[in-house]
């Protein structure tokens, strides 16, 4: 009887050993969690751990799409609470402007460009957290007053004014021709616009053989107040409002504007300038340097100002090209009036 039991026991032991060996050769049993599932659970990423990738193209207000979404994700990563809308809206413009204002020697534009990308990448690499709003207050709901007067696409007109006491940063005198000597505040522009104006004048005067002169740039609130009062006295308030801006409603106060002229019109600012070689050249080439003819002919019902072929406004090359190619105004470009 004992002899019969031993072979059966030996057989059972062999089966048990074979089962253990199979379970150790990499085959999963039904009650084991797969290693891949464990790894996935352990590697679930929080929003802060998601790799931030900066977009390449120039981006600005009114843009939308995946590149804008990527920029918004980066802005969130460095501390800005910007909604991921994929639209370059007011809050995104504010965040970019505030970031630029917190950097040293950084052009302040509200536009995402190569220089801004470089500074953002440096901030990301250093894991540095900024203090959002420490340079520029968040936009408020009052659309009648510009809450971000530092961006180059700021809209200033009879319906949208600048905040009280606003004075642009980084005012400089561009190295261009003026028809008068000595320093005057109206020779000044914001540095980013002044640099662009120098390139424009160099192309017009040195390459195209023209005689372009700068006549009037930055105006303080006080100077604009005096100019408007003088026009009211000379023409009456209604007509004065067609040819000049009330204080606080003038683009000249932004530092982004320069009235230009030429010897052919006696250095005056009048509509005849549009018929000169200089005026024709500006209409064709100003956008290449980031400028638009701010008050074009036929758009008086939108701009609320007479045709001014001499009035150049800096908005950046991307926006200027679209505005001039489409024959629209800044109001139409921004979808505001």
Instruction: Summarize pLDDT for 11-65 with one digit per residue, the tens.
Output: 443 434 334 344 444 434 333 434 433 343 344 444 444 467 999 999 999 999 9
Please state which of the ranges 13-22, 49-58, 290-299, 303-312 shows the lowest mean pLDDT. 13-22
Note the pLDDT of residue 168.
Answer: 96
Please state which of the ranges 39-43, 127-131, 199-203, 256-260 shows the lowest mean pLDDT. 39-43
Catalytically active residues, by annotation: 308
% of the chain at pLDDT higher than 90: 74
H-state helical runs in 86-141: 90-101, 114-125
Per-residue pLDDT at 143 exceeds 90: no
User: What phi, psi does 309 have (nearest 5°)?
Assistant: -65, -10
Is the separation of the CB atoms in 334 and 61 below 8 Å? Answer: yes
Write out the E strands in 219-282. 257-261
Closest residue by Cα to residue 314 from 164, 150, 105, 166: 150
Is the separation of the CB atoms in 262 and 213 below 8 Å? Answer: yes
Per-residue pLDDT at 92 exceeds 70: yes
Mark 178-191 as b/e (b = at least 16 C-beta within 10 Å): beeeeeeebbbbbb
Q: Which domains does the chain have, with CATH numbers?
A: 52-125 (1.10.101.10), 171-334 (3.30.1380.10)
Note the pLDDT of residue 279.
Answer: 98
Note the pLDDT of residue 241.
Answer: 82
Sequence-distant (6+) residues with CB within 8 A of 119 are: 99, 100, 103, 106
User: Which residue carries 């007011």 as its tokens?
Assistant: 90
Per-residue pLDDT at 75 exceeds 90: yes
Per-residue pLDDT at 7 exceeds 60: no
Structure-block tokens of residue 230: 């003088």
pLDDT band of residue 152 (cuts 50, 70, 90) is very high
pLDDT band of residue 290 (cuts 50, 70, 90) is very high
Note the pLDDT of residue 51.
Answer: 62
Looking from the CA of 261 toward its CB, the CA atoms found within 13 Å total 17
pLDDT band of residue 226 (cuts 50, 70, 90) is very high
Sequence-distant (6+) residues with CB within 8 A of 143 are: 160
Note the pLDDT of residue 27.
Answer: 38
Note the pLDDT of residue 36.
Answer: 39
pLDDT band of residue 113 (cuts 50, 70, 90) is very high
Write out the E strands in 268-307. 291-295
- Average pLDDT on 102-116 reads 95
CA distance 172 to 287: 22
- Average pLDDT on 274-278 reads 98
User: Which residue carries 């977009």 as its tokens?
Assistant: 55
Tens digit of each residue's pLDDT (9 = 90 or more) over 163-201: 998 999 999 999 999 999 999 999 999 999 999 999 999
Mean pLDDT score across all residues of the chain? 87
Structure-block tokens of residue 145: 């007053």
Note the pLDDT of residue 142.
Answer: 73
pLDDT band of residue 252 (cuts 50, 70, 90) is very high
- Average pLDDT on 192-221 reads 97
Closest residue by Cα to residue 191 from 101, 108, 311, 112: 108
């Amino acid at each position: 009887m004992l002899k019969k039991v031993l072979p059966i026991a030996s057989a059972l032991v062999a089966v048990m050993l074979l089962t253990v060996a199979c379970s150790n050769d990499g085959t999963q049993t039904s009650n084991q969690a797969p290693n891949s599932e464990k790894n996935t659970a352990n590697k679930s990423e929080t929003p802060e751990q998601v790799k931030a990738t900066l977009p390449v193209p120039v981006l600005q207000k009114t843009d939308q799409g995946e590149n804008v979404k990527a920029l918004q994700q980066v802005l969130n990563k460095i501390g800005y609470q910007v909604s991921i809308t994929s639209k370059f809206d007011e809050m995104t413009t504010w965040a970019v402007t505030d970031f630029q204002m917190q950097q040293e020697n950084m052009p302040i534009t509200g536009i995402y460009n190569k220089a801004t990308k470089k500074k953002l990448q440096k901030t990301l690499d250093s894991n540095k957290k900024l203090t959002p709003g420490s340079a520029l207050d968040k936009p408020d709901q009052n659309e009648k007053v510009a809450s971000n007067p530092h961006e180059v696409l700021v809209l200033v007109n009879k319906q949208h004014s600048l905040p009280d006491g606003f004075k642009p940063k980084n005012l400089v005198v561009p190295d261009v021709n003026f028809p008068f000597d000595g320093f005057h505040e109206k020779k000044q522009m914001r540095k980013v616009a002044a640099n662009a104006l120098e390139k424009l004048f160099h192309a017009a005067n040195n390459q195209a053989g023209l005689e372009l002169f700068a006549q009037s740039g930055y105006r303080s609130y006080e100077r604009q107040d005096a100019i408007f009062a003088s026009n009211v006295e000379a023409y009456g308030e209604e007509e004065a409002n067609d040819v000049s801006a009330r204080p606080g409603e003038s683009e000249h106060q932004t530092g982004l504007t320069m009235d230009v002229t030429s010897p052919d019109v006696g250095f005056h600012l009048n509509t005849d300038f549009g018929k000169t070689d200089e005026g024709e050249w500006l209409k064709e080439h100003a956008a290449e340097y980031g400028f638009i003819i701010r008050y074009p002919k036929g758009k008086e019902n939108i701009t609320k100002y007479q045709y001014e072929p001499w009035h150049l406004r800096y908005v950046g090359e991307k926006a200027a090209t679209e505005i001039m190619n489409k024959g629209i105004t800044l109001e139409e470009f921004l979808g505001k009036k």
